[in-house]
Amino acid sequence: MIARNVFYVNLLLAVLWAALQADLSVTTVGIGFVFGFLLLSVIHRGYGAAMLGAVGYILFLVQAIILSSVQVARYVISPRLRLDQGIVAIPLTARTDLEIAILASSITLTPGTISVDVGRDAAGQRVLYVHNLVMGDADEVRKTIKQDFERRILRVTRGGATA
């Protein structure tokens, strides 16, 4: 969470850069942000990796949304509906509210999966319940979400310390 404070400093540097320019526009603030990012990623260990991870995560999320919406569109227009709905419990490595909120929102944004609830399973482990439109194998779903979504989010919020 230190990366968040550094991010605020980065925003401050961007505004400072824009204030020293002749014109104030989104482009100047953006250029200031990029310069501030370069500076801070040299100064602060792990900040560069976390920010690149965040950008990478957004790109990955957009790609996942596009791919799976095409998939859901194919389910909709296929002559015979082959739905296989089910709810899968995903054990969470994410701990903080922010991590879980980002994970649940990302899963809901991706068509074909909706996060329903956060709870605890019989062993007391925190789990996220995800409703799938076409499920297939439950373990497969669990593995995909943990590896694709959760790992990337944790890499950003914890600076790549977790597997």
Cβ at position 44, least distance to other proteins in Å: 26
How many whole angstroms separate alpha carbon 24 and alpha carbon 16?
11
Residue 160: which residues within 8 A CB-CB, separation 6 or more?
46, 49, 50, 53
Q: Which is nearer to other proteins, 52 or 65 (CB)?
A: 65
Cβ at position 5, least distance to other proteins in Å: 22
Residues near other proteins, by CB under 8 A: 25-27, 65-66, 69, 72-73, 75-77, 81, 83-89, 104-106, 108-109, 111-112, 114-117, 119-122, 127, 129, 131, 133, 135, 138
Q: Which is nearer to other proteins, 49 or 141 (CB)?
A: 141
Surface-to-core class of residue 70, CB atoms within 10 Å of its CB (0-12 exposed, 13-18 middle, 19+ buried): exposed
Cβ at position 160, least distance to other proteins in Å: 25
Quote the DSSP letter at residue 131: E
How many whole angstroms separate alpha carbon 134 and alpha carbon 115?
14
Cβ at position 130, least distance to other proteins in Å: 9
Q: How many residues does the chain have?
A: 163
Q: Which is nearer to other proteins, 19 or 62 (CB)?
A: 62
